[in-house]
Amino acid sequence: MTAAEAVCKENEVIIMLAECSDGHGGKGFYNTFARVEKVGGYFIQR
């Protein structure tokens, strides 16, 4: 992530994909993304 952050310009987005061998995490984390129509819009509003 350090290299990605170094080349990312202001207001750009870093998208990271990774395997979740232990599952998706807690129910709250899952619901954060399951309830939005556009994930990109969720982050832009934050």
CA–CA separation, 24 vs 29, rounded Å?
8
pLDDT the model gives residue 44: 57
pLDDT, tens digit (0-9, with 9 covering 90-100), for 5-44: 888 888 888 888 888 788 777 888 888 777 777 666 655 5
Q: How far is CA 44 from the centre of its chain?
A: 11
pLDDT the model gives residue 45: 54
Q: Which residue, 22, 42, 41, 23, is CA-closest to 32?
A: 42
